[in-house]
Structure 1
Amino acid sequence: MKKIKYHIAVTGLNNTDNPGPGIPVIRGLRESKDFDVRIIGLAYENLEPGIYMPDMVDKTYQIPYPSSGMDKLINRIEYIHSKERLDVIIPNFDAELYTFIQAKERLQNIGIHTFLPTMDQFEERQKANLSQYGEKYGVKVPFSKVITHRRDIEQLKDSFEYPLLVKGKFYDAYLAYSAEQVNSFFNRISAKWGMPVIIQEFIRGTEVNVIALGDGLGNTIGAVPMRKQYITDKGKAWGGITIQNEKMLELTRNLIRKTKWQGGMELELIKTNKNEYFLIEINPRIPAWVYLAVAAGQNLPEALVKLAMGMKLQPFSSYEVGKMFIRYSYDLIGDIAQFGSLSVSGEM
């Protein structure tokens, strides 16, 4: 029986030392046993490595940053759709999700499906709202405070002990040991991501993560916990291993059930020496280590596409414990003609 073929657009092709989820998502999609894919890469920059990786992307189009406005971005998507007949778009960056969530109906009206959290789900798990989120859903979270001006830094000593974490609203987190370091990180983060900047209590322990997929009805389609084995200076996992941890899985299932989470997600947790779990962040999309879940037996990118296309799914019942991933750098060789094509025409 001939398999159906979906045309799927994917962002997050920046497979660098701060990797986007795009390439591991594509790897999962290409391993689907139930459908074939034509992969359309959506790139913000013309040097994103995923553009040039062989057998990953069938066609690449450059798109404008979400900061240029929803109409400009979605108009470009509509043009790409006229050429490629897109079935599904999988956005993989926090900073672009707001635009794609807002544009859901506009995209659906022309036949493009997404499977993303609702705007309410997206907003309530923002780092600036994490304290209220923990209280609402019965999850332990570190104490945090939002600041919007350098003069607020001096007052932190009344509420926090050093070290503490300084976080951007979308990305970046730095451990600060003094007010001077907070000031430096505040300037760096606010210049890059804008306000607010989040100050968070530093919890000592082991960082563990869960990747999960919710169906929007309260059911957990899949969930795989992982412990980071190697962390870069950017705080990114460069190696990890799947672990058996029912407490982490139950925490994840409870959150998805209570919030009726729709789409992919990653829970970042700290496990203390007292075996307590603190939720430090919820990423509202598939994380860059998703291929570990695929290798462990849960092809979550494939499942996400099925949900986007309106299929009913049975949850994954198991995964392989002890599966490891290790990232590595690799020199891709391309041609200036490829770079030139993308730079001049916006497609390759």
Structure 2
Amino acid sequence: MKTKITVAVSGLNNVDSPGPGIPVVRGLRESTFFEPRIVGLVYENLEPGAYMHDHVDKSYKVPYPSEGSGILMERIRDIHAKESIDVLIPNFDSELYTFMKAESELKHLGIHTFLPTLQQFEERHKSNLPEFGEKYKIKVPKSRPITRIQELKELEEDYDYPMVIKGKFYDASIAFSFEQAQIYFNKIASKWGLPIVVQEYIRGTEVNVVALGDGRGNTIGAVPMKKQYITDKGKAWGGITLDDPKMLELTHDIIGQTHWRGGMELELIRTDKKELYLIEINPRLPAWVYLAVGAGQNLPEALVKLALGYPVEPFTDYTVGILFIRYSYDMICPLGDFQSLTTRGEL
């Protein structure tokens, strides 16, 4: 008999720049250990996951973390009073800080999480990547955080075009000139704030790894992937699992040295010389995590087990050559569903 649990999941914006929420839910629905009731946490009225009733049992609207951690936590307490949440899985970088800070309070309420520590979260920031690479002896591109457009000109002495302009949470664009760099600076800063990170452009092929660390230096699972189709927003719309021992070795090395706790995605560049450069660590499971499930590693299920203190055996293999392909799908929803989420804050 499966163990019944209630799991709250955010990141249900399953659109052209999808969040990890629905892929995480799909993994939990396929669990052989748990029978989950899924509670969706949505920030916008039109997040598709809220209307996917075959995946999400109940949805609640929550305030953005930018409105204040106290307000967000008050809403979580209200939802918990109705739903008795066992595990909370936040899937946006921008909300992780609030929930990491509130870990003790959440545990006191009976809500379990399995998130990186504040130190792990801070030291892998894009703006701290050079120090991270030096500390753990990992190849990383040169990068520098800036807060003024004028600093772009100053960087031209050390950085050649093209260069990569990145937001502190999301978004990255390749600038081939100072004029382009200015445009991307303003565009990303207006959306995600400062600082902006300027990163050396490394020529090569982008590859990725989804992984899960147990917080004690052990890698519970890791699946490498190469993007097969990329949207104009740089998101993978198709990808395939790889047989790449070097990517796995690097992943085990990073998790072993940092004692990483929770899910992560490594964004890497493989150069023509077969060198691997770490260009980013996303501190949670990525939107393509269901590929790992399809390849034989149900990382969402393992994450929930870790959160609840169940023993978890590391995955030892996965199927190479498994492909994922995203597609658009038009859901038909009653107006009453939208009105309920908009006016009552729940669906």
Shorter chain as denominator, the TM-score bin is over 0.9
1:145: which partner in 2?
144
Corresponding residue number in structure 1 for 2:74: 75
Percent of aligned pairs sharing the same letter: 63
Partner of 1:326: 325
Q: Who is 2:282 aligned against?
A: 283
In the other structure, the counterpart of 2:91 is 92
Which one-letter code corresponds to 2:124 in the other structure?
R
- Following the alignment from structure 1 to structure 2, what is the Cα–Cα distance between the partners of residues 246 and 221? 16
Indicate the residue corresponding to 1:226 in structure 2. 225
Secondary structure of 2:156's partner?
A: helix
Give 3-state SS (helix, strand or coil) of 1:160's partner: coil
Question: For 1:193-272, what aligned pairs fall within 5 Å after superposition?
Answer: 193-272=192-271
Deviations along 1:292-316, whole A, 9 cap, x unmatched?
0000000000000000001121100
Q: Distance in 2 between matches of 1:75 and 1:64?
A: 10
TM-fit CA distance, 1:78: 0.4
Shift of 1:157: 1.2
Query: 1:150 and 1:298 mapped to 2: Cα distance?
Result: 44
How many Å separate the matches in 2 of 1:284 and 1:301?
A: 14
Query: C-alpha offsets along residues 92-129 of structure 1, whole Å, 9 cap, x if unaligned?
Result: 00000000000000000010000000000000000000
Query: C-alpha distance in 2, partners of 1:96/1:54?
Result: 24
Q: Which position in structure 2 is the counterpart of 1:63?
A: 62
Q: Which amino acid aligns with 1:330?
A: Y
Partner in structure 1 of residue 154 of structure 2: 155
**Distance apart, 1:189 and its partner CA:** 0.9
**Aligned residue for 1:5?**
4
Distance in 1 of aligned mates of 2:234 and 2:3: 39
Deviation at 1:53, TM superposition (A): 1.7
1:132 equivalent in structure 2: 131
Q: Does 1:177 align with 2:166?
A: no
Q: State the distance in 2 between where 1:147 and 1:71 align.
A: 30
Aligned residues: 347
Residue 221 of structure 1 aligns to a residue whose secondary structure is strand
Residue type of the alignment partner of 2:106 = L
Q: Which amino acid aligns with 1:50?
A: G
- In 1, Cα distance between equivalents of 2:132 and 2:139: 10
Structure 1: state its 5+ residue gaps.
none
- Secondary structure of the equivalent of 1:17? coil
Distance across 2 between alignment mates of 1:64 and 1:157: 41
Deviation at 1:320, TM superposition (A): 0.2
Q: Distance in 2 between matches of 1:313 and 1:31?
A: 17
Where 1:184 maps in the other structure, the secondary structure is: helix
AA aligned to 2:331 is: L
Question: What amino acid does structure 1 have at the position aligned with 2:203?
Answer: R
The residue number in structure 1 matching 2:110 is: 111
1:39-50 equivalences in 2 (<5 Å) = 39-50=38-49
Structure 1 position 150, deviation (Å): 1.3
User: How far off its partner does 1:54 sit?
Assistant: 3.5
Distance across 1 between alignment mates of 2:207 and 2:110: 38
The CA RMSD over aligned residues, in Å, is 0.6
Quote the Cα distance in structure 2 between the aligned partners of 1:103 and 1:283: 20
Aligned counterparts of 1:198 and 1:282: Cα–Cα separation in 2: 14
Give, in whole Å, the separation in 2 of the partners of 1:337 and 1:22: 23
Alpha-carbon separation, structure 2, partners of 1:326 and 1:219: 30
Once the two structures are superposed, residues 111-150 of structure 1 have per-residue CA deviations (whole angstroms, 9 ceiling, x without a partner) of 0000000000000000000000001001100111111011
What runs of 5+ residues in structure 2 fail to find an aligned partner? none
Letter in 2 for 1:46: N
